[in-house]
């Protein structure tokens, strides 16, 4: 086994793909005897007959059929190694960490990352979903290179940022909740009487402050999925990004609340979604590509809300 070589696997695959030793020799620009010798050595080192040579053309044995996918994988891994090494040697990052708020539209994220995978197939992407009040800290301390953040207050000058979408919020409850029985333009002060499900910071974090909290009794969660689940269960009411609950509204699983006012405005607030990174943190080709591509996200209507 120790004498197995990548060339033997390449010859093995060539014979299979071309259908004969002679055709493989022509493809690889070698003498047929060299092809035959490589296959013989591969069979010897593997202790397996890979081809049945009793017919006019060699055919794979059962062992040959079983080993073929593994041989292809070996050569594919080698190709991946070379391409990744070539990219890293030219400055392409091996890995990018993207911190994002849970309000990020799934359509925007999926579209951009699919394009990124096609452009940089060998760059690993790590996604960190955090409450929106803490996201900038991940960029400040170097835990992430890029962020998809809610611009709920002025950004510090240390960040480069660009608009990539808009988040519209709606207040919702389950159909069984008492608030669901109220007519449109009900008195917004009634919100205070019912439990509000609030997306909040991690328990050990004191960064940021609450936004849009009106109820006296509020339950705090750290992820949007749990917040949605509790609202669906009728535990309380809460605000949700419209893009994340449109299907629930259409199916009647949730009811949109329309009070007469919302903290002095005639509707719930919306937030700009921005892509950002620290100005003094170097972005390689892949990171810069992602920043620029997210900047185009707001041009697609399905990537808003």
Task: List the CATH number of the domain containing 248.
Answer: 3.40.190.290
pLDDT of residue 90: 62
> Residue 109 above 70 pLDDT?
yes
> How much of the chain is in helix, strand and coil states, percent to nearest 5?
45, 20, 35
Tell me whether residue 1 is in a domain. Answer: no
Q: Which run of H or of E encompasses 67?
A: helix 62-89
CATH number for the domain that contains residue 48:
1.10.10.10
Q: Which of residues 85, 112, 147 is at a domain's end?
A: 85
Contact 254, 173 (CB under 8 A): yes
Same domain, 47 and 99: no
CATH number of the domain to which 117 belongs: 3.40.190.10
> Could you give the CA distance from residue 131 to residue 202 in angstroms, rounded to a whole number?
7
Q: Give yes or no for a contact between 281 and 150, defined as CB atoms under 8 angstroms apart.
A: no
Phi-psi region of 73 (alpha: psi -120 to 50; beta: other; left: phi over 0): alpha
Let me know whether 294 and 178 are in one domain: no
For 20-40, how does the pLDDT look when each residue is reduced to its tens digit (9 = 90+)? Answer: 889 989 998 999 999 889 889
| Same domain assignment for residues 172 and 159 | no
Question: Domain for residue 211, yes or no?
Answer: yes
Asked whether the predicted pLDDT for residue 66 surpasses 70, the reply is yes
208 and 130 share one domain: no
Is residue 90 assigned to a domain? Answer: no
Worst-scoring range by mean pLDDT, 10-24, 68-82, 113-127, 222-236?
Answer: 68-82
Q: Is 180 within the bounds of a domain?
A: yes
Higher pLDDT pick, 216 / 30? 30
pLDDT of residue 4: 83
Co-location of 183 and 234 in the same domain: yes
Tell me which residue range forms the domain holding 77. Answer: 6-85
3-state secondary structure (DSSP) of residue 171: strand
Asked which of 89-93, 130-134, 201-205 is least confident by mean pLDDT, the reply is 201-205
Q: Would you give the DSSP letter of residue 259?
A: B
pLDDT at 158: 83
Mean pLDDT highest for which of 25-29, 172-176, 271-275, 293-297? 172-176
- Both 278 and 160 in a single domain? yes
How many whole angstroms from its chain centre is CA 293? Answer: 14
Please tell me whether residues 157 and 73 are part of one structural domain: no
User: Could you tell me if 185 and 52 lie in one domain?
Assistant: no
pTM of the model: 0.63
Are residues 150 and 276 located together in one domain of the fold? yes
Model confidence at 299: pLDDT above 90: no
Euclidean distance between CA atoms 288 and 217, whole angstroms:
44
| 190 and 279 part of one domain | no
pLDDT band, residue 207 (cuts 50/70/90): very low
What is the tally of structural domains in the chain?
Answer: 3
Q: Which residues contact 300 (CB under 8 A, 6 or more apart)?
A: 107, 108, 111
Q: Are residues 294 and 158 in the same domain?
A: yes
Does 72 lie in the same domain as 136?
no
């Amino acid at each position: 086994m120790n004498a197995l070589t990548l060339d033997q696997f390449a010859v093995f695959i060539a014979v299979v793909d071309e259908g004969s030793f002679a055709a493989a020799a022509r493809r690889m620009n070698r003498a047929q005897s060299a092809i035959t010798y490589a296959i013989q050595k591969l069979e010897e080192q593997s202790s397996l007959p890979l081809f049945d040579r009793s017919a006019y053309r060699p055919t794979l044995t059962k062992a040959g059929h079983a080993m073929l996918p593994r041989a292809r994988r070996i050569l594919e891994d080698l190709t991946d190694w070379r391409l990744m090494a070539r990219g890293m040697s030219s400055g392409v990052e091996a890995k990018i960490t993207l911190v994002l708020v849970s309000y990020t539209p799934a359509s925007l994220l999926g579209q951009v990352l699919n394009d990124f995978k096609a452009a940089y197939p060998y760059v690993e992407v790590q996604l960190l979903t955090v409450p929106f009040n803490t996201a900038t800290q991940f960029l400040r301390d170097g835990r992430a290179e890029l962020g998809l953040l809610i611009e709920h207050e002025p950004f510090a000058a240390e960040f480069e940022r660009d608009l990539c979408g808009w988040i519209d919020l709606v207040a919702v409850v389950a159909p069984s909740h008492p608030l669901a029985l109220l007519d449109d333009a009900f008195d917004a002060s009634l919100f205070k009487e019912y439990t509000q499900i609030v997306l909040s910071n991690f328990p050990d974090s004191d960064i940021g402050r609450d936004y849009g909290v009106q109820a006296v009794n509020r339950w705090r969660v750290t992820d949007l999925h749990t917040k949605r689940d509790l609202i669906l269960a009728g535990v309380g009411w809460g605000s949700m990004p419209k893009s994340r609950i449109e299907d629930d509204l259409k199916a009647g699983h949730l009811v949109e609340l329309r009070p007469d006012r919302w903290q002095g405005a005639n509707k719930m607030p919306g937030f700009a979604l921005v892509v950002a990174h620290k100005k003094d943190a170097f972005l390689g080709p892949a990171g810069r590509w992602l920043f620029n591509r997210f900047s185009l996200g707001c041009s697609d209507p399905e990537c808003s809300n």
